[in-house]
Structure 1
């Protein structure tokens, strides 16, 4: 029996090779793998002994030869074996290959384009695909985690296990090609073809509901703040925990000042900012003490003991923070089921995917912040300095609320949020009802323009003093006129933040 071993990841390869030799395999190898095995005392032959042809083009061509691929691709039929015999080719029964470190290379901050290109493997994928195609006759091994099980199964390998290894091999090369294609693609825009590589990180307890299976996946080798967050304490995260945590952290990250965000069902229910985290929490909690119960909270500062003492008295599912002081962690970890996540900032996504039956709609991610808006006062009265601060605060929040969305707030906290209504006036009425007496003196942010002046008039009746919205409606003048009539200051941004 003959095996070819040529791996970039050499973890466990010496023990695997020794195990194969004990099982009666002749080992063929190349390059660095050959040296590793030879230095370890493994009986191994260099591939050029088999091909009778030297490596050329600085090693670019060494295994691309009939003596290799004929031995891999031959079915164990009399006809194929006779042809091998005529050409003096020995069948190859096992191929162990993993590929040049392309992902690791392009992850280096100083990588050059030429370095990246040189780390595109050619012979490796060819051997993997050939072996996987002929998996009924050839065992294909791409994952060091499988070495021990394969050694244990030799001599009694089922067709189902061969098929499993073949599927894993094709997934390996597909993921590799995806990484290359995405690296070569333009850095912006929507390409004609988009291949996405998903690697399972963990299985989750269940999906949105108990009858749905779920798992957490990583796209390629990308990093994510919540995806890569460390769960320091508490029970396992669920599907809903992850989606809510992502929404919560993304909103908290919009702010530079100490901020606390509460999220329920992927929508903000309470947001507070202040000079200290403890005060920010108090403002957020007062914004909606009902909805925040059983919710998720994110803070954008190291979580301190004063804030932890306030948080521990409220039932929460998850807390996200960049750090926890030792005292804060001690206080919060006494709650057995409360998940405490340590989160680090990560690059913002470039594309946003939404599933539809049979495909996806794909868009550039909405990463536009305050720096992308053009503040334009369109009413006779300009907002006061305090109103402007409140307007910009609510504008950052409304971006993260499901459309139709209205957010009202004042003094660094939300006072009312209207979520996901089918018309804007209902969202406004919901936010005002939620705010109650706190609506008076608040400001209002809308994620999209007003088609009529009804929002302005409803807001004025509740005591709201200033409005921020994108503008752009054919009826903008109606809303401006109503605001002037009612003494409301209104600012246009020129930017819409629909969120579906």
Structure 2
């Protein structure tokens, strides 16, 4: 038999006679409190919560009447009192605890309803430092943890979504709460305070400029239980953090099936890539498959950009993700729906375009309301056995780099435009990455290979396949440029690109053999620029 402590058994059912309610999110509060009061449960409350309940005509005892001490310091101190925490933490069936309650005038609190100051929302809105600090809740988490620890006797509610479950449980058990519900809500309460503390600690780390704090916490809230993870035998859930970055986590889904684990992963990759392209300058489309781009292009119109992106690898694009950097219009929508596509993600969509996409009932259409800022800071977290790898987001942008020409021939204006385009794409291709591009469109992409020369050869091979599929006689790579996400360790990868038809190269540089690679470029008549910034992506 489960015990609380000192051999005291956990009661399966506990009568709820007194409830303490103190919430910042007042949605559903009045109705919940009315249902509790209808069961004869005494209500205790604080500040704004008490006023909302009194305005609804409910009899509510102020927390100061319980503690015998007024709220002070602008409400910073109101529930941090032994008569509150004793009422939450007391083991009712322990004789010593019962004596202490009697001696000190402590009455048990059987139900705690708390949600915390809106810290995450406050800092996400861009509030200043002082406002952020003022929205760090202290009493709420303290009470929540106390109640959750003593879930043998106390029901703790941190989410308005659970009000119905609590009322149903009380109704099913004649005004008593079940241990099954109390355990479930206790787990949720501890998870909520953990996520809250993670948000606070990470925000403070940013404020003091500490990129690697001694302790790093990561938290989020369940947005969706997935049918499975990457594979059917893996369980998975999708969690949202407080970050307001436009993208798959914050988008509105206008239609289509529920997103899968792989859909979310790929859609995030697609939208992060296309967000590199300023819509004030160009229309851009990225098509993604298995987190790698299979085609990216700019165009005078979205329709043209999509057609050029599709041309790069029409086979891989089947069942892919399409990301746009500006409003989806009818002409582009008509083209996209011609082949099977899993997801379209776009900042906005015309009504006519929405109607066109609706013909494909399973096709997901996501609207983000804006692009993700590629320069914005952020965290990237990856789990490893026994730990977490945490790094800052790769927010390097080619437009901000000081490009250095290192060959005898400098790139032409068109080559330079294509070089910056190709390097922009290479940042989002799994390493080792090689991107061939011409006239603002990818013509061949090699991704995720163990050697850079293999990536160069695969990209060239795929370009030949695309040339054949388009019914062209001349290889798409003839007169193209090539981008590499990292330096060429040997000249072989560079020479493979030259053999494919590349005339100019962009790469970070930094190899011990840079001189050898530059010499090979000169001998092949290539123009080469170095970025000084690497974009590994694993």
TM-score calculated relative to the size of structure 2? 0.88
Q: What's the CA shift for 1:19? A: 2.5
2:371 equivalent in structure 1: 345
Query: 1:458/1:41 Cα in 2 relative to 1: closer, same or farther (>3 Å)?
Result: closer
CA contact (8 A) 2:432 2:452 kept: yes
Q: Does residue 381 of structure 1 match 2:381?
A: no
Find the partner of 1:462 among 483, 486, 500: 500
CA distance in 1, matches of 2:338, 2:216: 47
Q: Does residue 59 of structure 1 match 2:84?
A: no
Structural mapping, 1:417-436, within 5 Å: 417-436=445-464
SS of structure 1 residue aligned to 2:177: coil
Q: What's the CA shift for 1:440? A: 1.8
CA contact (8 A) 2:505 2:527 kept: yes
1:291 equivalent in structure 2: 316
Find the partner of 1:162 among 173, 182, 185: 182
CA contact (8 A) 1:447 1:496 kept: yes
Query: 1:389/1:88 Cα in 2 relative to 1: closer, same or farther (>3 Å)?
Result: closer
Deviations 1:95-116 (A, max 9, x none): 222222333433444x343333
Q: Does residue 440 of structure 1 match 2:478?
A: yes
Q: Which runs of 5 or more structure 1 residues have no equivalent in the other structure? A: none
CA contact (8 A) 1:95 1:131 kept: yes
Q: What's the CA shift for 1:222? A: 4.0
CA contact (8 A) 1:175 1:220 kept: no
CA distance in 2, matches of 1:478, 1:276: 42
CA distance in 1, matches of 2:377, 2:228: 26
Q: Does residue 332 of structure 1 match 2:357?
A: yes
Query: 1:378/1:244 Cα in 2 relative to 1: closer, same or farther (>3 Å)?
Result: same
Q: What's the CA shift for 1:239? A: 1.0
CA contact (8 A) 1:197 1:220 kept: no
Q: What's the CA shift for 1:71? A: 2.2
Q: What's the CA shift for 1:349? A: 5.0
1:204 equivalent in structure 2: 226
Structural mapping, 1:11-410, within 5 Å: 11-76=27-92, 77-109=94-126, 111-154=127-170, 155-187=175-207, 188=209, 189-256=211-278, 257-343=282-368, 344-347=370-373, 348-410=376-438
CA distance in 2, matches of 1:83, 1:454: 81
Deviations 1:328-385 (A, max 9, x none): 2222221222222222324545121122111111111111111332211111111111
C-alpha RMSD of matched pairs (Å):
2.0
Q: What's the CA shift for 1:483? A: 1.6
CA contact (8 A) 2:244 2:250 kept: no
CA distance in 1, matches of 2:78, 2:350: 56
CA distance in 2, matches of 1:100, 1:326: 39
Q: What's the CA shift for 1:450? A: 1.3
CA distance in 2, matches of 1:104, 1:286: 43
SS of structure 2 residue aligned to 1:88: coil
CA distance in 2, matches of 1:329, 1:20: 45
Query: 1:276/1:210 Cα in 2 relative to 1: closer, same or farther (>3 Å)?
Result: same
TM-score calculated relative to the size of structure 1? 0.94
Query: 1:21/1:305 Cα in 2 relative to 1: closer, same or farther (>3 Å)?
Result: closer
Query: 1:270/1:156 Cα in 2 relative to 1: closer, same or farther (>3 Å)?
Result: same
CA distance in 2, matches of 1:386, 1:206: 46
CA distance in 2, matches of 1:489, 1:276: 30
SS of structure 1 residue aligned to 2:212: coil
Deviations 1:61-96 (A, max 9, x none): 232222222222221123321222223332222222
CA distance in 1, matches of 2:413, 2:273: 23
Report the number of matched residues. Answer: 499
2:3 equivalent in structure 1: none
Query: 1:472/1:31 Cα in 2 relative to 1: closer, same or farther (>3 Å)?
Result: same
SS of structure 2 residue aligned to 1:96: strand
Q: Which moved more, 1:119-128 or 1:471-480?
A: 119-128
Q: Does residue 484 of structure 1 match 2:522?
A: yes
Query: 1:275/1:137 Cα in 2 relative to 1: closer, same or farther (>3 Å)?
Result: same
